[in-house]
Each structure stands twice: as structure tokens, then as C-alpha cells.
Structure 1
């Protein structure tokens, strides 16, 4: 990210709460030339009750429409608290912010049926913050025949492309996705498969912890070849890009359907980590051949067991986090959604048809004025 600007500031806030359901990443970014500058960052954790309530929305239930709206309102309130904390931290006022780019919380992602659903009541967020909100970034791309995801490759292209260097950016959140930044080639990207979501869910079930810190628990187990092959046989992995996925496919029911019940929990965790690493590595080897450097971001970038395993599988590439490029690996996605809000207000398209499969470029997002 750049240094402080001398020109007129262009201040945007980005909010990201992803599939991992750990909480809200909030950033304040100045997009004035020559380069985006991260002015502040704030993390607002979700409590277990909210996490479980959102997880429950992924499955059909009685009165789910009412529950969805109530949780959307709750999320908007939490988003507003995160925004206010960020403004206080950076000594800014709502009047100085051009817009908030709010991803919202995905509870359904079904591009094959022509829709995706991210909740968070953007109108209420605009009311609570007195700042214009841009949200619902994925629907316009899906309306144009695309997957609606991943959306961050367009921002990776703007921020992280380097002349003459073949880079791949891998975001390991709940789902893992990659961006291929090959010199002289149009940027491409797609979802690889599960990132942290299965490991986190298995860890919660057996250790009552929301994630496996540094992959320490996984490191005590051994990979189960039969289980790994069963999981790798999932048709999603063999699909060519463009492709995207989420909890609609990769969830605990999916995992349980592969288990005999005789496996030790730590061996399952080791195998889930191997699944994440193998699907990322194979995606890079088949779709990003010749990659010189692979940069990780998202929560999975903290998992040293995972990082070391990826480095082994991708031995011909440098494997590091985006911190090495001067971009905070924890907040890169939130910065991307601030940028998506800026693109919307400037009337500029922000999807990459090669990535999502859309028929054409689109201006993304719905605007709720302050």
C-alpha cells in the first residue's frame, strides 16, 4: 500500500465478514493517487451465538425468512459499531467518508439457480452511520450470467500485478480462491475449494475452539489416503474455471458423508488440511503454470502448518504472505470491497468476465445514500 497522499483524499471504508464467520474486518482506505493508502484497520469478532445463528440460516428451517431479517438487522448494527470504532481510531468523521463498501454475510450462493444472498441490511447501516453504503456486489454479475465470485481478482490486478513477474494471490478464508497475475496475460481467478471452513467446523466440534491455531492439532494427525481420495473425487474440483463455491456444497454434512466413524479426530483434521493444500496446489499447477511467487492472504495465511505444506507442494515457487508485498494479509479483502464501492460511485465496471464467466463487464453494487 502507498504512503500518505498530498492530493485531495478519497476516503472509503471496506467491510468484510466472510465464510469463516470469525467477525468483521473494517478498513479505512484513501484511494487518491498515486496508490491506495490504508489509513486504519479494525477487527470486530462475532460471538458464538451469532456465529451459530448465521450457520443455521444455511439450512432450510421454519420461519427462516423472519430469522434472516432479524439477523440482517443485527449484522447492520455490528457493522455500524465497527465503522464507528474505525472512525474513532483514525480521528475521522462520517462526513469525510465517500462510501462504505459492505460485502454482507453470505447465507446462500447458488449461481446455478441465478442468485446469491448476502445479508446485512445496507439501508439500516446507512441510517446508523450517516454514510452512503454500497452493497450486494455479486448479484449484477450473476444477472449477466456470471458466478458472482470471486470478485477480488479485479482488485488484485490493480494492486498486486508486477511487470515481468508471474504472481498468484491465494485468499484462504472459509473458501479458498486464487488470482492468476501472469505477465502479458489477462487476469484470471476462481474458487479452489474449501479453505478453513471444514477445518474450523471440525475443530469446533471436537475441541470447542473456533479454529486450529497454526494447524497445531492437524500436525498431530496423519493424512488418511482413502478419505482424501473420497473428498478429492468431489466433481467441483474437476470443473474448469470459471467456478465458485461456498457452504452450500462444502459443509459438515458433506464431510460426514465421507466418514466411516472410525477415524481419529486429529487424522481427519490432518486430512482436511491436506485437502485445502492439495486443491490449491493442483489449481495453481494446472491453471497457473510457471508461477514464480504465490502470496497468501486471509485467515489461512496464519496457519504455519498449512503454509509449510503449500511451500512443499509448490516447491518451484516462492510461497509467502501478502505482508511481504506491503499489504496486510488479514485485511486485503476488506480493502478490495472499499475499492469496489469506489468503482461503483465512479460508474466503473469491477467484475472480470474471464473470472466470473459473466457475458460482459458490469458496474457492481446497490447504493443506499447517506
Structure 2
């Protein structure tokens, strides 16, 4: 089955479309990557998303418009992916949409909202769409995150030691796959969320390109200690978080009463925060290697700090195992949708905290026959195939 996964993360800078040939081979999923394209949000839409996100207030009219405009943006890149990556035909499109709110009440998730009306994608491409993949896990008592955990578990189990999959998006999350016992996954805290927020506020740039500001700056120990005191880091897993907590206003509160801090030092401090909190989470669960993906791996200062904090635990990118790091999340959601249309659950309860595993998402039919199959044996592993 030729499947396209559409993903825009908590940094909401662009939409990624990754295409794959997916098939069930006995008790294994075989994934052959077909390529990735990425399209930035246009400036007006990105500004509208920014204006609607917490702690800002918004209206139902704004939510409706965003749902439409984001859906149309996803539809545009889906059309391009069908033509450029799939030779004019895809069997299924899986759309994560754009997360605009993740409702965390203490340690429980009460709801989650991703915008990007899938009807626009189905109408533009004629292809069946699976969307809204997080809500069913939340309804089953789970965090609705990190949903990539099932991909990580299927892919990494059997590797020596305790491999840890790391995603450095707006928020950092890990999946821990021990040789014995249940796997575990959770958001460790901010990855690029605070870095990007500071850089955008101070310079107007979208992110700290090549870690230049962090490299020039020095960690402010007073601010660093305040940030590390955040109670979220001490909560037991499974747990999840988002920009509802880690945003510019949050950082301003932590800086209150401190002497003025140079911009480069602020960026250096929040970059060090990401490295420290990720490394503590990895060490806390006995990780023996870290396989990283996400936009944060393109920040050399962050990666160097993370290597230092990991203290000898190997840090690799998923590219080194044959999976393009920039496309990993989009491929993971392609797999989730593939499981859905095969009637198979897309969650690992020990990773999300749900009462049970669930078949995820809502299905928007395309034109013609929808690719829905009766459930078969559940896969136990995921293999990468080469063209």
C-alpha cells in the first residue's frame, strides 16, 4: 500500500509529507521510504496560528478559519506528494494536522485538538484520509502522546541494551525499549519550543540557525536553576506537555526579579535546559544508546551539549540506521494510518498510559473504494526496506 504521512509539529514552521510503500509480511510491517517533501506555512497562516495559541485567547470564528486554512495547506502539499512521490496515485493519506491545544490537567490529559479539516485533503486528492489520531487514546485514558512510540517499539526492539528513540521537535519526547519489561514513552520537556520563542521575540528569526546565538552565549546559572525546578520534570511517566506550558510568558515569569540577561545568554540557557532534561530522562531509564530525529538535531550546539550531558551514551541520528531523521514523524504517522485501515491498534498502553490499545483516528473516504481491511495478526516488528 502506498501511504503518505502528513505532519506539522509543535514548531508549526512547515508541513512535511513522507511517502512510503507499506505492507504486512507475516508478523512484520515492511516500510520502504519513497521520499519527503516539505512546504513552509505561508507567513500569514503562521502568524494566525501563533496569534491563536496559548496563552493567547481566540474565538470560534478564528478556530473555524484556521481549521479550513490549515486543511487547505495540508491538501496542497498532499497533492504535490501524490504526484512527485507516488507517481500520481496514493492508496492512503494520513494527516496529523496541527496541534493547537493539548489539555493537560495536572498529570491527566482531558482532551487534545489538532486542526486541519481532512475533507480538503480527500477532495483535492480523491484519496481516503485518516486523521485525528490522538483523540481515541485520550478517550481511553491515555496521554495521546507520544504516538510515535508504537513505531519506535516495533522498529527498535531486539537491538542490544536499552535503545532510546528521541524526537527533538518543539517538545522533546523519548521512547525507551528495554530488553525485558514494558516499553515506556513520554515528553521530557521543551526541545525547540523555548529556544524558538526567545529567538523570534529577540531577533525576528524563526530559530537559532546553526546554534549561533547559543554558541556565543553563556548559561545563566540563576535562570537555569529556576527552569530546572519546573515540577513537570519530576512527574512520573507516562506524561505529556506542550506549548500550553512552555511558552514565552512562562520564560518571562522565570526571569522575573533577575538582573537583565543578555539575549545570547538566554538562548544558551534554554538550549542547555533541553540537553539536561533529555539526558536526565535517558539516564533515568537506563538508556544505552539514543537514536535522534527532529529539527533539533540540526542545531550543532544542542547536539554537542546533549552528547556531553549523556556522558558516553552513544548519540546517533536515525539516518545512520537508514531512516531519514527529517521524515521520521511523518513516516510514523503513515504507519499509524496503515494500522488503522488494517483494523489494528496504533498505541502501546504502557507508553501512553491508556487503559487499552486502540485503533486510532477518523476516516474520511476518498473517491472509489476505501482501503479498509479486516484485522489480521498483530505485527511484532518493523523492517526498513531499500528501493
2:361 aligned residue: 365
TM-score, normalization by structure 2? 0.89
Give the alignment of 1:172-211 within 5 angstroms. 172-211=168-207
Contact 1:111–1:142 at 8 Å: present in 2 too? no
Choose from 151, 154, 159 the match for 2:150: 154
- Which secondary structure state, in structure 1, belongs to the residue aligned with residue 39 of structure 2? strand
Choose from 96, 102, 106 the match for 2:95: 102
Task: Indicate the larger mover: 339-348 or 178-187.
Answer: 178-187
How far apart are residue 98 of structure 1 and its match? 2.3
Structure 1 gaps, min length 5:
1-9
Contact 1:351–1:362 at 8 Å: present in 2 too? yes
1:13 aligned residue: 4
Contact 2:114–2:132 at 8 Å: present in 1 too? yes
Give the alignment of 1:247-326 within 5 angstroms. 247-259=243-255, 260=258, 262-286=260-284, 288-289=285-286, 291-326=287-322
* Residues in 2 aligned to 1:53 and 1:329: alpha-carbon distance in whole angstroms: 28
How far apart are residue 111 of structure 1 and its match? 4.1
Choose from 69, 75, 100 the match for 2:64: 69
1:3 aligned residue: none
- Which secondary structure state, in structure 2, belongs to the residue aligned with residue 36 of structure 1? strand
How far apart are residue 121 of structure 1 and its match? 0.4
Q: Deviations over 1:125-174 (max 9, x none)?
A: 21122111111111111111111111001001112334334211110000
Give the alignment of 1:21-40 within 5 angstroms. 21-33=12-24, 35-40=30-35
- Which secondary structure state, in structure 2, belongs to the residue aligned with residue 300 of structure 1? helix
How far apart are residue 186 of structure 1 and its match? 2.2
How far apart are residue 237 of structure 1 and its match? 0.7
- Which secondary structure state, in structure 1, belongs to the residue aligned with residue 326 of structure 2? coil
How far apart are residue 51 of structure 1 and its match? 1.7
Change in CA separation of 1:91 and 1:117 when aligned onto 2, cut-off 3 Å: closer
1:55 aligned residue: 50
Choose from 47, 65, 74 the match for 1:79: 74
Asked whether 1:88 is paired with 2:88, we answer no
- Which secondary structure state, in structure 2, belongs to the residue aligned with residue 223 of structure 1? coil
Calculate the aligned-residue CA RMSD, in Å. Answer: 1.5
* Residues in 2 aligned to 1:365 and 1:11: alpha-carbon distance in whole angstroms: 18
Contact 2:6–2:93 at 8 Å: present in 1 too? yes
Task: Indicate the larger mover: 162-171 or 22-31.
Answer: 162-171
- Which secondary structure state, in structure 2, belongs to the residue aligned with residue 82 of structure 1? helix
Change in CA separation of 1:62 and 1:168 when aligned onto 2, cut-off 3 Å: closer
Give the alignment of 1:112-123 within 5 angstroms. 112=105, 114-123=110-119
* Residues in 1 aligned to 2:290 and 2:212: alpha-carbon distance in whole angstroms: 23
Change in CA separation of 1:61 and 1:228 when aligned onto 2, cut-off 3 Å: closer
| Number of aligned residue pairs | 357
- Which secondary structure state, in structure 2, belongs to the residue aligned with residue 306 of structure 1? helix
* Residues in 2 aligned to 1:151 and 1:134: alpha-carbon distance in whole angstroms: 14
Contact 1:15–1:79 at 8 Å: present in 2 too? yes
* Residues in 2 aligned to 1:222 and 1:14: alpha-carbon distance in whole angstroms: 39
